[in-house]
Structure formats: structure tokens, C-alpha cells
Amino acid sequence: MTEQEQKPTEQTEKKFQRFRHHRRQFPRPQKDKINVEMEKPETQLAKTPIEKTQPVEKIIHHHQNKPIVSVVIPLLNEEGSLKELAEQLKTGLHRLAGNYEVIFIDDGSTDNSFNILKNLHLQNKRFKVIRFRRNYGKSAALMVGFERAQGQYIVTMDADLQDDPAEISALLKEIKNGYDVVSGWKKKRYDPITKTIPSKFFNYITRLMTSVKIHDFNCGLKIYRSDVVKSLQIYGELHRYIPVLAHWQGFRIAELAVNHRKRKFGITKFGASRFLRGFLDLLTVIFTTRYITRPLHLFGGWGILSFLLGLAIDTYLVIEWFLGLTNLGNRPLFIVGLILIIVGVQFISLGLLGELVVKGQQKQTDYSIKEIL
Ligand code: UDP
Ligand code: MG
């Protein structure tokens, strides 16, 4: 008996040992898909114990200590600009908000950027730093910054000194007029012509296709109320179209002309590929904002149009043929009609398939809720 009883416990113990060994070798995957190395800000460290154990007054105090403004700055290899940027931010923000935080997201820099940021953090704990293990792109960096930002208002800006920190006060003033997003407008722009002309074209097309009437969609300098950034989902290079995404969630958007400056250090991080990707992203944005819940309206409309046009053409030709007025073999229009009919049917089917996909996926969380009483 005793031997039999012991056997299973020994086995279980062995199993546990094997499991522990396995866990050491393959730790549980982290929830965040993006690999982050974080310089722990004190608030992050303090958060859980305070909320769990401290009396209520302390909690209120803790919440009152939340920054008014969070500045989120994604950067990739910007070692030249960082110190000057930090100085400008410090003077501007101290005067403006007193209680602020700056979150730098080092998007996999391979130069000295991270060490400079580390020093900034050591000198001033309002400067927080998140370091990606590799380059994930500006949108990913912004998303992670948005998740960590604790301020009432969240400002985004580029790290290359092209955006002017002195403009933050004007943006803050404007957003307090009742907007959810105020987007900067590089009215007088200091970039090479190879960038400004395509950019004008993009902005024009985007305005046309999205009915968001602002001049400069892709300005790095913007200010948001915190609930806007918490409900944005951006990835790839969708940061270009944040105003569109916010608009389609029902947020109120304004635009403000801001000072823009020449790039002083380093080089631009977006090459010519930006144009092709920008265009593809525009398609994604239009699709996922305007038509996400009703694909049949997009495809079905064009499908029916094409089908009916094809049908009319071919009916006409068949009647002529029937009356002996024409020989279908030498009427290319007949083929055009056939193609229109086939394309029409294809489009309608695509729309219906889309509807099926959407129906399977629709969740309540897809709707942007402003208040619940
Ligand atoms: N950036 C980034 N990750 C990237 C590319 C760029 O964080 O993969 C940052 C870059 O360091 C800068 C901002 O995004 O702070 C805007 O980039 P850049 O100035 O090169 O763009 P441009 O002004 O030329 O449009
Ligand atoms: Mg720039």
C-alpha cells in the first residue's frame, strides 16, 4: 500500500520539476506583442502597492498628481536633437502645465539616442523612456506611448526639432475650446520639394475621399484629449491618418497653423516608399472606417450598376441580332457587355461575403462610446 501511495506523489513531483525546468527555458509569452524595455518611471513602480494598500486620501492625492499634459515622442536615431529638444520642452512645459510628463519611445535606435535619453531620465524623472528591442515603426511607437500616457491631454511631436515645443501652449488653448483633437498644420513648411508636392497631393486626395476638411493630415504635432488616444488603434503606417480615424469615431477635430523648422541634425527616416505605402494605407483607412460595417453598400452599388449596364447593352444587341440587323460575331460591344455582367455579379458576391465576415466579427467594443450614465 505505502509503496503504491508513494509512487504517484513521486511522479507528480517529477512532473512539476520537469514543468519548472520547461518554464525556466520557455517563460510564458508576454501579453504585449511589442517587445519593450522600459526605464521604469516611479509612478509605474508605485502604482500597484499604493492602490492596493494606501488609505483613500493617498489614492486621491495620487490621482491629483497625474500629469496635465503628456508629451509622446517617437524617435529613431535622433542623437543630435535630443538634448536641445529636452531643454526646449522643459522650459515650455514647466511654464505651461507645471505637472507634465514626456515619454520618449526609442524605436530601435542604433546610435547613441538611448544613452542620451537615459541621462535625461536620471536628471529629471518627468522624462520617461521606453525602448523597443528593434524598429517597429512610428505608429507602433505612438501606440505604446499612448498606452502609458497618464495626462489629461496628450501631445505628440517628432524628435527632430522640426516641430516646435513652444506651440504646445497654443494647441492646449485651442483644444480647450471644446475639441477632442487639434492637429498641427505646417502652413509654411521647411522640407525639400520632393516631399512637399506629393504631400500636397496626398492631403488633397485624403480630404476628398474622407470628408475631413483639414490641410495637413500627417503633421507630427498634435494634441488629443486622453480618451481619443485610448480608443485609437494604429499600426503599420496608419499614423498618417489619425485625424481620419478619430473623425470616424465621432471625435471633434480642429486644425491650427504651427511653426515648422528645418531638420537640423540627422536625416529623414521615411524614403520614397512612403508614397506607395501612404496610398495603400489610405485605402485601408477608407475601407475600415467608412465601409467596415456595410461592405455590401460599397461593392453592391458598383456591382448592380455594372450588371445593369452590361445587361442593357447585351439585351439591345441580342434584339438587333434577333431582328437580323446585326451579326453578334463582329460586335465587340457584346463582349464588353458580358464582362460588365460578370464583374457586376463578382462585386455583389464580394459584398455579400464581406457582410458575412463583418457579421461574424462585430463586437460592441467596435463602437466609440462617449459617456455611460
Ligand atoms: N520615427 C520613428 N520610427 C521610425 C521612423 C521615424 O520613431 O521608424 C520618428 C523620427 O525619429 C521622428 C519622427 O518619427 O521623430 C518623424 O520622422 P521624420 O522626421 O524622419 O519624418 P519627416 O519629418 O521626414 O516626415
Ligand atoms: Mg522630420
DSSP state of 262: -
Task: Assess whether the C-beta atom of 275 lies below 6 angstroms from ligand 1.
Answer: no
Please name the residues in contact with 77: beta carbons below 8 A apart, sequence gap of 6 or more: 109, 110, 111, 113, 266, 269
For the CA of 136, the closest atom of ligand 1 is: 8
Going by C-alpha positions, the residue among 75, 250, 73 that lies closest to residue 154 is: 73
Q: Is the pLDDT score of 44 beyond 60?
A: no
Task: Assess whether the C-beta atom of 216 lies below 6 angstroms from ligand 1.
Answer: no
Q: Would you call 198 exposed, middle or buried from its count of C-beta atoms within 10 A (0-12, 13-18, 19+)?
A: middle
- Cα separation, 200 vs 216, in Å, equals 8
Please say whether the beta carbons of 38 and 130 come within 8 A: yes
Would you tell me which CATH number, out of the four given (3.90.550.10, 3.40.1000.10, 3.30.379.10, 3.30.505.10), belongs to the domain 66-290?
Answer: 3.90.550.10
For the CA of 157, the closest atom of ligand 1 is: 15
Rounded to 10 degrees, what is the CA torsion of 295, 298, 304, 305?
-170
Instruction: Note the pTM of the prediction, 2 decimals.
Output: 0.75
pLDDT: which is higher, 257 or 42:
257
Please provide the average confidence, as pLDDT, over all residues in the chain: 85
Ligand 2 centroid from CA 221, angstroms = 11
Phi/psi at 255 (5° precision): -130, 145
Task: Assess whether the C-beta atom of 135 lies below 6 angstroms from ligand 1.
Answer: yes
100 φψ region: left (φ > 0), alpha (ψ -120 to 50), beta (else): beta
Please say whether the beta carbons of 144 and 34 come within 8 A: yes
- Residue whose cell numbers read 506629393: 198
Task: Assess whether the C-beta atom of 145 lies below 6 angstroms from ligand 1.
Answer: no
Centre a 10 Å sphere on the Cβ of residue 159 and count the other Cβ atoms it contains.
Answer: 27
Please name the residues in contact with 217: beta carbons below 8 A apart, sequence gap of 6 or more: 183, 202, 203, 206, 240, 241, 242, 243, 244
- Cα separation, 350 vs 342, in Å, equals 12
Q: pLDDT for 80-130, tens place per residue?
A: 999 999 999 999 998 887 899 999 999 999 999 999 999 999 999 999 999
Q: Is the pLDDT score of 32 beyond 80?
A: no
For the chain, state the CA radius of gyration: 28
Domain ranges of the chain: 66-290, 295-364
- Cα separation, 99 vs 22, in Å, equals 46
AA letter at 253:
I
Q: Whose CA is nearest to atom 19 of ligand 1?
A: 268
Predicted pLDDT at 328 = 87
Q: Whose CA is nearest to atom 9 of ligand 1?
A: 75
Q: pLDDT for 286-308, tens place per residue?
A: 887 777 678 888 899 999 999 99
Q: pLDDT for 146-165, tens place per residue?
A: 999 999 999 999 999 999 99
For the CA of 141, the closest atom of ligand 1 is: 7
